[in-house]
């Protein structure tokens, strides 16, 4: 049933980090209801519903929140929920009549989660943006890529999901814990720029300590060091090496068959010659052959899988790593609990009626009254 069984979450329409955060909570057992727009807003990357993996695990109710009767329904739901999540630009929920002050007035125990890119205040607060913009402003994007090459956008993992979804989920669970003692709800304001900077704490510390040059592709963990990088193999596949510690570096030298003189070249000035030696060595065998070589070591050398190669991988293909929902193979809920294991999530393509969506939230009498008043499109 999952450790969050019994928790009710109301998700308002958004893209990217908000649906992913709602998916995390649903995967862990929360009952999540997504209040969606009646008409598509044309945001995000369009694809069939069954491939929208972050929309799994909940029922959907389509509403026009600008209608008074629909607003009444929204307030009925807010009265009965534990958590509200929204990802509109600042003040949109207030203009709809569903801002934090109103909602906490209806339900003083409510945890009101707000997800924005730029934050609720500041020069850019009302501006549109995407992951690439948020990580650009925070310095994360400038830190990722090869030396003397443009910054490399790292999918939308760092900002949207790392600095956004995960921190919003952490904030919500923290507020729920605090509610146990206070009995009161509160606002959780999560901005992607803030979360991204938080993620960067370790690297910012390395720059401050002089251990990083502040130039991408020239440092220990950003492809600058030859013993923390990827190398092309004879078959065109790539092999990743992470031999930071002396004992792993010694194993790397032995497994690859480098000369003893090369093995001493761990200093920054020696990195170019060491990289050349590693490139030449890895180019002589296929990736699977290198996997076999490194299988007998502590794991600091791995094949670089493409996304389509992850399912058949002998380690990732182990039980519980993937599930199939609606004909789509996808990652299973990642956390594993000894007692309260989550169930199989509802497929994102699963259909439901408004009555079915509301069945967990309102009693039949209230449901009938709201229906007769036209709270949603039949």
Residues with a catalytic annotation lie at 130, 160
Residue 202 tokens read as 């370790």
Cβ atoms of 89 and 164 closer than 8 Å: no
Nearest C-alpha neighbor of 188 from the set 202, 206, 174, 198: 174
Q: Which residue has the tokens 């502590």?
A: 298
Pairing of β 228-232 and β 238-242: antiparallel
C-alpha dist (Å) from residue 72 to 67, 78, 81, 172: 9, 10, 15, 25
Cβ atoms of 337 and 345 closer than 8 Å: no
**Strands lying side by side in the sheet with 58-63:** 58-63, 31-37, 8-11, 83-86, 111-116, 186-191
Alpha-carbon span 164 to 166, nearest angstrom = 6
What CA dihedral angle connects 200, 206, 207 and 209, to 10 degrees? 140
Alpha-carbon span 209 to 294, nearest angstrom = 33
Nearest C-alpha neighbor of 226 from the set 207, 252, 201: 252
Alpha-carbon span 171 to 345, nearest angstrom = 23
């Amino acid at each position: 049933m999952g450790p969050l069984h019994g928790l009710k979450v109301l998700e308002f329409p958004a893209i990217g980090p908000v649906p992913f955060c709602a998916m995390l909570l649903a995967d862990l057992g929360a009952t999540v209801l997504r209040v969606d727009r009646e008409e598509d807003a044309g945001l995000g990357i369009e694809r069939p519903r069954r491939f929208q993996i972050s929309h799994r695990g909940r029922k959907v109710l389509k509403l026009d929140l600008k209608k008074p009767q629909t607003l009444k329904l929204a307030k009925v739901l807010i009265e009965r929920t534990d958590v509200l999540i929204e990802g509109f630009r600042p003040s949109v929920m207030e203009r709809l009549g569903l801002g934090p002050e109103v909602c906490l007035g209806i339900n003083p125990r409510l945890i009101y989660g707000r997800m924005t890119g730029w934050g609720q205040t500041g020069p850019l607060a009302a501006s549109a943006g995407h992951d690439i913009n948020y990580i650009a402003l925070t310095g994360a994007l400038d830190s990722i890529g090869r030396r003397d090459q443009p910054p490399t956008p790292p999918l939308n993992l760092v900002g949207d999901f790392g600095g956004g979804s995960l921190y919003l989920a952490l904030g919500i669970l923290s507020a729920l814990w605090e509610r146990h003692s206070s009995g009161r709800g509160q606002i959780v304001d999560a901005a992607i720029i803030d979360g991204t900077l938080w993620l960067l704490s370790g690297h910012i510390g390395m720059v401050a300590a002089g251990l990083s040059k502040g130039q991408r592709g020239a440092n220990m963990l950003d492809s600058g060091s030859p013993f923390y990088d990827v190398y092309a193999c004879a078959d065109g596949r790539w092999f990743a090496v992470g031999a930071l510690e002396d004992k792993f570096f010694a194993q790397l030298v032995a497994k690859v068959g480098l000369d003893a003189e090369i093995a001493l070249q761990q200093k920054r000035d020696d990195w170019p010659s060491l990289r050349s030696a590693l490139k030449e060595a890895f180019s002589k065998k296929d990736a699977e052959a290198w996997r076999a070589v490194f299988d007998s070591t502590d794991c600091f050398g791995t094949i670089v899988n493409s996304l389509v190669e992850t399912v058949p991988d002998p380690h990732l293909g182990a039980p519980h790593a993937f599930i199939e929902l609606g004909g789509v193979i996808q990652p299973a809920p990642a956390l594993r609990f000894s007692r309260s294991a989550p169930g199989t999530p509802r497929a994102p393509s699963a259909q439901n009626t408004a009555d079915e969506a509301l069945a967990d939230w309102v009693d039949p009498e209230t449901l009938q009254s709201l229906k007769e008043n036209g709270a949603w499109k039949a």
